[in-house]
Structure 1
Amino acid sequence: MSLVGASKQREPIRTDRITAQGHHHFYATVEADSAEITGSCIMDNTALFKTLKSDGHLRVDRAEIDSLAVTGSINATHLTVKNMRVHGIIQAQCLKVRYGQIIMKGICRIGRINSVTIEVSKGFALKKRLICEEITGKTVVLIHTKANIVRGNDVFIGEHCEIETLFYQHQYTIAHTATVKQIVKETLQ
């Protein structure tokens, strides 16, 4: 399926490949093996992709994606991803990611992150910060992050982080420009 210009797709879509350029609005479930989106795309219902590449602005309600690459911005309610790379801005209520990398180009807000490995770094932008209620992962690497709770086996709290409570199982490192109010060693049960 190839879309150019502007469109509104009201019926459920199941296809091998979607290529969309311009502004597109999907009102029903979208399912594809691969999708490449350039411009802006809104998905009001469930989105299921093996591979999704977005250059521009992407807004989804619920998505399950094997491999996600975003250059620009993504706004989601519930996002479940195996491998993710966001180079830009991410806003989400809930992010479940096996391996994730966020290169911030502005203010990012995520309610909860649950991951195996999550790495947050800064891109070239004056205002860059991840604001998050809770971040959980086996390996957690953060910079410019403000979070109430960070929990992990191996945790690196990098420059300009503000963390209320850090829970760790194996080891942690805190940069001298970071603030962590409480540190708790958790034991395996």
Structure 2
Amino acid sequence: MENKLSDMKISGSGSISGGSYNEVKISGSVKIDGDINCNYYKCSGSSTAKGNVKSRIIGISGSTKICGNLDSEEMSVSGSSHILGYVTAKKVKVSGSTHIENNLNTEDVQISGSISINGDCEAENFNIRGNFNIGGLLNADDIDVEMYGKCRAKEIGGENIQVKAGSSNFFIKMINLFSNYARLVTDVIEGDDIYLENTDSKIVRGNNVVIGPNCNIERVEYRNTVDIGENSKTLCKKID
């Protein structure tokens, strides 16, 4: 008969050993020594895991630091998280802030806050309403970005890529300031269908390319169609 996993719930401060649990629930301040394997990892306080964390569901509404790798089906952050290792998850949802020191590999990314990734980001869908900083490659089938701040990536690749300046009521009132503040900076953007606003890039390469307002692109390489919007500067070249 399969052993039943126990729950670990801490509302004060202290430390726990690594191991296998059903639910780890932290509302105080806790240090975890060793690797954790559980079904649910929930932190509304402060936690530091000194090893790897593997959990089917991870929910962070407080502050969490993971010194190893993170493996999860669903990761949700409405507070702040800092992961020093690699992150592998089917779904990542962030309405707070997340910093990943290595690579993120996922199917679906939904951000309404900020995310920083020192390595690469591999996804099927990358959807963000906020800002991001990716030290390597952002690669996703569908990339949908609404910028509320500075966004950076070394390179961007995908099938459908759309980058727009945010359009909330607050920023409409501050449009003059915001149009300069919300920008994407990258070296290379390559995809099938591309639409860009407020973007600085050395090369944009695609089948159908629309360069919207306030872009500085050194060179656009296109196969089918290209459209250059107002206040944008670029040199266009048709390729086979």
Match of residue 123 from structure 1: 166
Q: 2:88 matched to which residue of 1?
A: 48
Larger Rg: 2
1:13 & 1:184 partners in 2: Cα distance?
A: 48
1:122 corresponds to which letter in structure 2? A
Deviation at 1:13, TM superposition (A): 1.7
The residue number in structure 2 matching 1:184 is: 237
Q: How does 1:61-140 map to 2 (within 5 A)?
A: 61-76=102-117, 77-93=119-135, 94-124=137-167, 125=171, 126=178, 127-140=181-194
2: distance between equivalents of 1:25 and 1:69?
20
TM-score, normalisation: structure 2: 0.75
Q: Secondary structure, in 3 states, of the residue corresponding to 1:121? A: strand
Amino acid at match of 2:236: I
Give the C-alpha shift of residue 155 in structure 1: 0.6
Flag as ranges the 4+ runs of structure 1 deviating above 6 A.
Answer: none
Greater relative contact order (Cα < 8 A, sep 6+): 1
Equivalent residue of 2:44, what SS? Answer: strand
Structure 2 gap segments, 5+ residues each: 1-40, 172-177
Distance in 1, matches of 2:211 and 2:46, equals 43
Q: Distance in 1 between matches of 2:164 and 2:182?
A: 9
1:57 Cα deviation from its structure 2 partner = 0.8
How far residue 176 of structure 1 moved from its aligned partner, in angstroms, is: 2.3
SS in 2 for 1:28: coil
Deviations along 1:1-51, whole A, 9 cap, x unmatched?
Answer: 111211111221222111111111111111111111111111111100101
Letter in 1 for 2:66: F
Letter in 1 for 2:110: A
**8 Å Cα contact 2:211/2:229 also seen in 1:** yes
Q: Give % identity.
A: 23
2:129 maps to amino acid: H
Larger fraction in strand:
1
Question: Following the alignment from structure 2 to structure 1, what is the Cα–Cα distance between the partners of residues 126 and 72?
Answer: 17
| Among candidates 19, 24, 33, match of residue 73 of structure 2 | 33
Q: Distance in 1 between matches of 2:122 and 2:108?
A: 10
Shift, 1:139, TM fit: 1.0
> AA paired with 1:97?
A
Tell me the TM-score normalized by structure 1: 0.95
| Number of the residue aligned with 1:10 | 50
Root-mean-square deviation (CA, aligned residues, Å) is 1.0
What SS is found at the alignment partner of 2:45?
strand
Name the CA distance, whole Å, in 2 between partners of 1:19 and 1:40.
11
The number of residues matched between the two structures is: 186
